């Protein structure tokens, strides 16, 4: 039966966890899903998440990985045409995020007297 929210959904709205991002992919992947996508053993991914050598989010005892992290990792591998070291990539990703935040902050700061 087709619900008002989609085919075969029983008329229930999608949950936040199942709601796809704008690209039709989940906004976040579980550690198990991420490990499967990257063809890693789940324990290897957990080790990287705990060490901070792979970007993720820990909520309580559960890790999730933003879909954009996986997307950007794949894009960077394809753009460079070479093997990307995960530790170096994560360090660069963090630096890029800090720089982007600094640019946004600087653009929003207005000094007294209208001096930019």
Position 82 in a domain: yes
Position 112 in a domain: no
User: Which residues form the domain of 45?
Assistant: 15-106
Position 3 in a domain: no
Q: How many domains does the chain have?
A: 1
Position 6 in a domain: no
For residue 17, what is the DSSP state?
Answer: T
Position 101 in a domain: yes
Position 10 in a domain: no
**CA-to-CA distance for 103 and 97, rounded, in angstroms?**
10
- pLDDT tens string, the chain, 116 residues long: the values are 444 444 444 444 444 444 555 558 899 999 999 999 999 999 999 999 999 999 999 999 999 999 999 999 999 999 999 999 999 999 999 999 899 988 888 877 666 666 55
Global pTM?
0.67
Give Cβ neighbours of residue 83 (< 8 Å, ≥ 6 apart). 77
């Amino acid at each position: 039966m087709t619900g008002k929210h989609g085919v075969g959904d029983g008329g229930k709205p999608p949950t936040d966890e199942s709601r796809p991002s704008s690209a039709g992919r989940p906004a976040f992947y579980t550690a198990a899903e991420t490990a499967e996508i990257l063809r890693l053993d789940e324990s290897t991914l957990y080790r990287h998440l705990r060490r901070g050598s792979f970007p993720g989010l820990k909520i309580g005892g559960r890790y999730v990985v933003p879909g954009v992290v996986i997307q950007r990792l794949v894009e960077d591998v394809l753009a460079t045409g070479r093997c990307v070291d995960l530790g170096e990539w994560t360090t660069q990703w963090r630096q890029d995020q800090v720089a982007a935040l600094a640019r946004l902050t600087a653009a929003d700061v207005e000094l007294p007297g209208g001096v930019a």
